[in-house]
Amino acid sequence: MSPEDPTLQGLEVRTYFVRGRNALVARADFGELYVDYYLHQGQHGYQHVPQHDEMLKETLAALTLHCATRPWNESWAWTLHFTDPLLNLFVTGDNRFGKVIGQIFTENVKDDGCPLFLAELARERSEPRRSVVELDPGDADAFHAIERFYKMSEQRPARYFRHGPEEFVIVSAQPQCDLAWFDRLDDTAIRVLDETEQLSLLEVRRYRWECGCSQHRMLGILAPIMRTDPEGLFGPDPTIRMSCPRCGARYVITREAMEAHVVSDD
């Protein structure tokens, strides 16, 4: 169990060691997480294009499985920049609290013709680490992008598989992995893995959709602008609207609330 003892609620991710193959497997059914994701959209009155929606859901699954194979004191943030379709996918997960969240950006995304994968790792009592990996032009498959990140940045191969409609699996190579077996894996082999291989359960973790954003935090983000350029921030309007950059939650900020927040902070 994590030192912070994350909530026992949330989707269950199980990790296994494949004996004789020296590989690590993590798998989960993401139905529960996706329900919370759609409830969040309904609560804040937005929805994504179906194609983009599926891309974000797969990236959320991939990040969660990745986090489940990593130490408890880590948090990760991934940005996948695609050029066809032109968008950014942002997902982040915190192992200490068992939280994952994500968002899609389609407006004001620079069309530079260079798809990229950006990964940021934060670890307690350590300096943050950042990796940037160029992706194959024209390939907007989230799983392919993350597998390339493993190969180029993590220095070990990993493969993602769809085990069911909302169930996903990652298999990552460990030292002295049977790479011939690893390369032969396909969807059929993954479905019968429990029957063909000896799996040893290592750990069970739980993750939930949770951002932690709030009206107060949005006020804090806008406070520096309010102090220097209140007219530029509000103009003639008594309110402004803003979205959380992490989860897309929408907030209405009144000028009165903003002025009160600045006064209370000073």
Task: Band the pLDDT of 84: cuts 50, 70, 90.
Answer: very high
- 156-211 pLDDT, tens digit per residue, is 999 999 988 899 999 999 999 999 999 999 999 999 999 999 999 999 999 999 99
In a domain, 6, yes or no: no
Average pLDDT score over residue span 49-57: 95
Is the residue at 80 inside a domain?
A: yes
Q: Is the pLDDT of residue 4 over 70?
A: no
For residues 167 and 118, state if they share a domain. Answer: yes
85 and 137 inside one domain: yes
Mean pLDDT of the region 111-124: 94
Domains in the chain, number? 2
Residues 182 and 221 occupy one common structural domain: no
d(CA 220, CA 144): 38
Judge whether 110 lies within some domain.
yes
Query: What percent of the chain shows pLDDT beyond 90?
Result: 83
Q: Is the pLDDT of residue 3 over 80?
A: no
Query: The domain spanning residue 165 has which CATH number?
Result: 3.55.30.10
Q: What is the mean pLDDT of residues 221-248?
A: 91
Same domain, 107 and 167: yes
Q: Are residues 61 and 175 in the same domain?
A: yes
Same domain, 30 and 115: yes
**Residue 60 within any structural domain of the chain:** yes
Residues 22, 144 within the same domain:
yes
CA distance 218 to 73: 27
The pLDDT value recorded for residue 8 is 57
What token pair was written down for 242?
């803003």
Q: Of 170, 189, 209, which closes a domain?
A: 209
Domain assignment present for residue 1? The answer is: no
CA pair distance 94, 46, nearest whole angstrom? 25
Same domain flag for 200 and 239: no
Q: Specify whether 201 is located in the same domain as 103.
A: yes
Q: Of 238, 236, 240, nearest to 219 (Cα)?
A: 240
CATH at residue 245: 3.90.1280.10
Q: Give the chain's mean pLDDT.
A: 92
For residue 125, the model assigns a pLDDT of: 84
Is 178 contained in some domain?
yes
* Residue whose structure tokens are 């997902």: 91
Domain boundary among 168, 188, 209: 209
* Angle between helices 31-44 and 50-68 in degrees, nearest 10: 130
Same domain, 59 and 168: yes
Query: Quick one: 50 and 163 in the same domain?
Result: yes
Could you list the residue range(s) of the whole structural domain that residue 88 is in? 11-209
**Is residue 2 included in any domain, yes or no?**
no
Residue 214 scores a pLDDT above 60: yes
Residue 36 neighbours by CB under 8 Å, 6+ apart: 208, 209
In a domain, 4, yes or no: no
Are 125 and 224 within one domain? no
